[in-house]
Structure 1
Amino acid sequence: MAPKKHSGFMMFVTEWRNRNAEGRRMTIPQAVAHCGGIWEKMTTQQRGPYNSGAKNADVLDRAKRERLNCHGQGIAQVDQAQQETAEGVMHMKRTTERIIREAKKAHDLENAKFVFAAFNFFTKALTSDVYVPAEFAACEYSLKEGIRSIYSTMIDPGQIIFGQSSDAQHHSATTHSLPLPPNALGERNMAKLHRNIVDYLKKCQGDKPLIVFTPVDDIPMVKSCFRYLACEDEDDTEIGRQKIEVFDILYLMFILKKEVMDVADLHDENVTQYVTDSFFNREFFEFTPQIACQYHEENDRSKYCTQSMVTRWAYTFSDLMCGDLAITVQPGKHIPPKTNPNYRVIHSDASSLAQESSFDSFYSLPGSRVKKENQSQDSTNFSISSSRASIASSSYVPTDHTAFTADLNEAEAFPSLGRRNPSGRRPPANNAPTQRERNGAWDLPTNSRPIKKFTDSDFSITGAVKKNKK
Structure 2
Amino acid sequence: MPKKTKPNGFLLFMMDYRKREERKGRSFRGGIQEVQNDPQCNQEWQSMSVDKKAEYNRRAKDCKKGGAGKKTGTGESMDAVEREKMRKVEFAQNMNDEIESIVAMAMEFGNLPLIKFNFIHSNWFHTRSLENNEFDYIPAEFAVSEFSLKDGVTKIYHQILKTEIRCGYTREAMETSQETHQLPWNLQCGEDRFEVMAENLKEFLKPGMDGNKYPALYTSRQISPAVKALIKRLTHSLNVPNETFIVYELEVLFKYLRNAAMQKAGVVDSFHTVMAEYELIKDAFSFTPGLDCDFHKNLDGTSQFCSMSIVKRWAFTICDYCCENLGVEMLHGVHLPLKIHSDQSNMSDTMSVLSEKINVMQIQDTIGIKSMTGVSKEYRTRVSERTDAEEQKRRNDKRTVTVVKYGDLANSPPAEPEPEPAPVTVPPPKEYQIPLRRPHSISHAHIAGKQKEDEHTYNESEFPSLGVSVGRGNGARRKDNEPRPGAGRGRGIALS
So what's the TM-score if we normalise by structure 2? Answer: 0.51
SS of the residue aligned with 2:216? strand
Task: Tell me which residue corresponds to 1:79.
Answer: 82
Task: Tell me which residue corresponds to 1:263.
Answer: 264
**Paired AA for residue 112 in structure 2:** L
Task: Tell me which residue corresponds to 2:295.
Answer: 295
CA contact (8 A) 1:123 1:161 kept: no
Between the aligned residues of both structures, percent identity stands at: 26
Q: Is 1:203 aligned to 2:207, yes or no?
A: yes
Task: Tell me which residue corresponds to 1:155.
Answer: 161
Cα distance in structure 2, aligned partners of 1:205 and 1:62:
41
Task: Tell me which residue corresponds to 1:310.
Answer: 311
**Paired AA for residue 337 in structure 1:** L
Q: How does 1:411-426 map to 2 (within 5 A)?
A: none
Cα distance in structure 1, aligned partners of 2:250 and 2:64:
48
**CA 1:337–1:205 in 2, change beyond 3 Å: closer, same or farther?**
farther
Uncovered stretches (5+) of structure 2, i.e. residues with no partner:
1-62, 342-496
**Paired AA for residue 323 in structure 2:** C
**CA 1:258–1:329 in 2, change beyond 3 Å: closer, same or farther?**
same
Task: Tell me which residue corresponds to 1:111.
Answer: 114
Moved over 6 A (4+): 60-63
**Paired AA for residue 179 in structure 1:** P
Q: Is 1:190 aligned to 2:191, yes or no?
A: no
Q: Is 1:175 aligned to 2:180, yes or no?
A: yes
Q: Deviations over 1:13-60 (max 9, x none)?
A: xxxxxxxxxxxxxxxxxxxxxxxxxxxxxxxxxxxxxxxxxxxxxxx9
**Paired AA for residue 76 in structure 1:** D
Q: Is 1:221 aligned to 2:226, yes or no?
A: yes
Cα distance in structure 1, aligned partners of 2:88 and 2:262:
31
**CA 1:276–1:294 in 2, change beyond 3 Å: closer, same or farther?**
same
Q: How does 1:78-157 map to 2 (within 5 A)?
A: 78-127=81-130, 128-157=134-163
CA contact (8 A) 2:259 2:270 kept: no
Task: Tell me which residue corresponds to 1:350.
Answer: none
**CA 1:65–1:242 in 2, change beyond 3 Å: closer, same or farther?**
closer
Q: CA deviation at 1:188?
A: 2.7
CA contact (8 A) 2:125 2:137 kept: yes
SS of the residue aligned with 1:153? strand
**Paired AA for residue 272 in structure 1:** H
Q: CA deviation at 1:155?
A: 1.4
Cα distance in structure 2, aligned partners of 1:274 and 1:110:
23
Cα distance in structure 1, aligned partners of 2:136 and 2:124:
10
Q: CA deviation at 1:242?
A: 8.0
**Paired AA for residue 306 in structure 1:** S
Cα distance in structure 2, aligned partners of 1:206 and 1:287:
37
Cα distance in structure 2, aligned partners of 1:71 and 1:268:
49
Q: CA deviation at 1:139?
A: 1.1
Cα distance in structure 1, aligned partners of 2:316 and 2:267:
24
Q: CA deviation at 1:121?
A: 1.5
CA contact (8 A) 1:140 1:204 kept: no
Q: CA deviation at 1:271?
A: 2.9
Q: How does 1:25-44 map to 2 (within 5 A)?
A: none
Cα distance in structure 2, aligned partners of 1:133 and 1:333:
29
Task: Tell me which residue corresponds to 1:166.
Answer: 171
Q: CA deviation at 1:258?
A: 1.0
SS of the residue aligned with 2:225? helix
Q: CA deviation at 1:280?
A: 2.5
Q: CA deviation at 1:160?
A: 3.0
Q: Is 1:336 aligned to 2:337, yes or no?
A: yes
CA contact (8 A) 2:159 2:191 kept: yes
Cα distance in structure 2, aligned partners of 1:273 and 1:62:
43
Uncovered stretches (5+) of structure 1, i.e. residues with no partner:
1-59, 341-470
**Paired AA for residue 190 in structure 2:** G
Q: CA deviation at 1:195?
A: 0.2
Cα distance in structure 2, aligned partners of 1:171 and 1:164:
11
SS of the residue aligned with 2:329? coil
CA contact (8 A) 1:329 1:335 kept: yes
Q: Deviations over 1:159-212 (max 9, x none)?
A: 23443222212211211110023x454223221111011100113456453211
SS of the residue aligned with 1:210? coil
SS of the residue aligned with 2:246? strand
Q: CA deviation at 1:65?
A: 6.4
Cα distance in structure 2, aligned partners of 1:233 and 1:61:
32
Task: Tell me which residue corresponds to 1:323.
Answer: 324
Cα distance in structure 1, aligned partners of 2:230 and 2:144:
14
CA contact (8 A) 1:210 1:243 kept: no
SS of the residue aligned with 1:125? strand
Q: CA deviation at 1:232?
A: 2.3
SS of the residue aligned with 2:304? helix
Q: CA deviation at 1:112?
A: 1.0
Q: CA deviation at 1:87?
A: 1.1
Cα distance in structure 2, aligned partners of 1:90 and 1:275:
19
Cα distance in structure 1, aligned partners of 2:282 and 2:125:
26
CA contact (8 A) 2:139 2:226 kept: no
SS of the residue aligned with 1:291? coil
**CA 1:163–1:260 in 2, change beyond 3 Å: closer, same or farther?**
same
Q: Is 1:275 aligned to 2:275, yes or no?
A: yes
Q: How does 1:361-440 map to 2 (within 5 A)?
A: none
**CA 1:217–1:327 in 2, change beyond 3 Å: closer, same or farther?**
same
CA contact (8 A) 2:160 2:190 kept: yes
**CA 1:66–1:322 in 2, change beyond 3 Å: closer, same or farther?**
same
**Paired AA for residue 169 in structure 1:** M
CA contact (8 A) 1:132 1:228 kept: no
SS of the residue aligned with 1:172? helix
Q: CA deviation at 1:274?
A: 2.7
SS of the residue aligned with 2:289? coil
Alignment length, in residue pairs?
Answer: 274
